[in-house]
Amino acid sequence: MKILIYGINGKMGKILYDAITSENKDEVLCGVDKFGDGKYFDCPVYTDCFDISEKPDCIIDFAVKDAINDYLPHAVENSVPCVIAATGHDEKDLAFIEKAAERIPVFKSGNMSLGINLLIKLVEIASSVLGDKADIEIVEQHHRRKADAPSGTALMIADAIKKTIPDETFVIGRNESSGKRQPGDLGISSVRGGTVAGKHEVFFFMNGEAVSVKHEAEDRTVFANGSIAAARFIVAKEKGLYNSKDLFN
């Protein structure tokens, strides 16, 4: 594959570039980044998608959430599949992504890790077994520079639980105004600090016992490798919106 990395000058952009070039299976055709130059890279780096002359096989986005407004119109115009690995998109963003997916194949996931997707499967099983017998809490930890909270992964986990237990109500970031825990509360707590790549733990608290399921990313390269796998998956697909369940199932 010939890949365009959107957000190539960012931390994950550089990790993705190194992951692709070290494998020697695919090629970084070019990068796009509104900030910084391309001195680190052995490929052209542009500030806008419409400046590029190359035709990539796939765009992988590890930039900020608003980047979709730059590369998705370009991708639709040029029929380029996209992997959206950035997080923090709101309802308006999601509608924009869904509209693009009516024309091109788009892969979007809050987390590209195989381990996280296994955790979600285990959480779905635990939720179906325990149901209303447990108080469920999600705790996620990330590095100090992560902008969105809760993380996209925590929301993926919460959505998976809610599909099994529809009456659960998200309680994000407990404080004194939250009051005491109510039946059906699904707590989501965020911790930010240091260089933590990503930790997610789901607790099922019952009377007299508790069960927890945990995933810890030791290196952000796992997310880069997951996005490459997603790109290989999406380039062979027809138009539509795909996610991790499509890739890992």
| Residues with catalytic function | 142, 146
Q: How far is CA 50 from CA 73, 197, 221, in A?
A: 9, 32, 29
DSSP symbols for 75-140 = HHHHT--EEE------HHHHHHHHHHHTTSEEEE-S---HHHHHHHHHHHHHHHHHGGGSEEEEEE
Whose CA is closest to 74, among 94, 44, 54?
Answer: 54
